[in-house]
Amino acid sequence: MTGERPLRILAVGDARSIHTIRWARRLDERGHTMHLVTDRMPRPTDDLGGVVVHDVRRLGLITRVRGLRKPFIGRAIGRLARHLAVDVVHAHGLLPYAWWAARGGFHPLVVSPWGRDALLDAQTEPGRSRARLAFAGADHLVVNSQAILDASIPLGADPERTLHAIWHTRLDGFSPDRADRARLRRELGWPEDALVVLSLRNFQARTNIDVLVRAFDRVRREVPEARLLLAARGGETKAEIERLVEELALGDLVRFHRVEPDELPPLAASADLTVSIADTDSTPSSLLEAMASGQPMIGGWCASIDEWIQPGEGAEMIEPKDEDALVEALLKLLRDPELRARYGKRNAEITRQRVAESAPAMEKLYRELAAAR
């Protein structure tokens, strides 16, 4: 940071999201005063550094009352922003966070649509009306993909007041050089020649982990060296996927592995290929982390993914729920180490070229908006 005074920033978002945590931690590390108001308080294991977290349900007497609080949350956030004398409010996610922040009336307000909120939830009521209110109240947008901006413009977003930034991802430490194939296989109890198929997606209906597991069950019969590593922080469908693995009698061929951030770079670099076949996305961190680690990809066609990988350009591409196509793509890559190497090299180069440190651009935007106010 230059000799300019530190900023005072209030975020409105999910304090359990690794994306929110990364963004807030980075600005905190750069010397800014960071506050985060949320309805999802962080877990005891979540390290937010010096970020001060406020429970939206404790901002006033009426926000403490279940069933009565919703109409008053926006006003309470606005009061908090004025009380803290912040320079800017940044809402992460349209629904409900940007909607709440816009109702609070504090300016400048920066809004970041995420993915499902703009692509799906805002396409029907009441999401559409709430998204329109959020965009109407925004002084600037920050988006991580063209697909998100394209979905936001019909809802009232102003493309002339938009910053494109990969604000949610930090790729320092992710590199093909971090690979330790022997160690990963030893720690997981797999043979040295195991061909590891990696998923970094959380267990959610939209990420189609069930499709991956069923496809893997077919693939491992033709490629006995194949193993499947489901590395995620959690998700609502995890128990369902565990039952599926048991029903298919996959046993030691599949590992469930919760990965902490400092463990992720060597793990991502030590697999043989990575699969990401979600129904909706907006430049997911897991995609960029795998690419930066030199991973060849199998990607699902959905918004924003084609901004990073294409058929024959770092990846095999399929429809997200097409199990037969996934089996074919897995067999193709598992049987062709030269193709895997070519895709992996291309992906590492692309991320080095296109993903930069976002904090300076964010700071510049915040200062310009605060000065204009």
**25-35 mean pLDDT:** 96
**275-291 mean pLDDT:** 94
Instruction: Provide, rounded to the nearest whole percent, the portion of the chain with pLDDT above 90.
Output: 86
Per-residue pLDDT at 1 exceeds 60: no
Residues 3-18: tens digit of each pLDDT: 689 999 999 999 999 8
**46-59 mean pLDDT:** 93
Residues 131-147: tens digit of each pLDDT: 999 999 999 999 999 99
| Range of weakest confidence among 172-181, 260-269, 323-332 | 260-269
**187-215 mean pLDDT:** 97
Per-residue pLDDT at 233 exceeds 80: no
**22-28 mean pLDDT:** 95
Per-residue pLDDT at 186 exceeds 80: yes
- Delimit the CATH 3.40.50.2000 region(s) of the chain: 8-168+356-372, 176-354
CATH assignment, 8-168+356-372: 3.40.50.2000
CATH assignment, 176-354: 3.40.50.2000
Task: Please report which confidence band the pLDDT of residue 57 belongs to, taking 50, 70 and 90 as the band edges.
Answer: very high
H, E, C per residue of the chain: CCCCCCCEEEEECCCCCHHHHHHHHHHHHCCCEEEEEECCCCCCCCCCCCCEEEEHHHCCCHHHCCCCCHHHHHHHHHHHHHHHCCCEEEEECHHHHHHHHHHHCCCCEEEECCCHHHHCHHHCCCHHHHHHHHHHHCCEEEECCHHHHHHHHHHCCCHHHEEECCCCCCCCCCCHHHCCHHHHHHHHCCCCCCEEEEECCCCCHHHCHHHHHHHHHHHCCCCCCEEEEEECCCCCCHHHHHHHHHHCCCHHHEEEECCCHHHHHHHHHCCCEEEECCCCCCCCHHHHHHHHCCCCEEEECCCCHHHCCEECEEEEEECCCCHHHHHHHHHHHHCCHHHHHHHHHHHHHHHHHHCCCCHHHHHHHHHHHHHHC
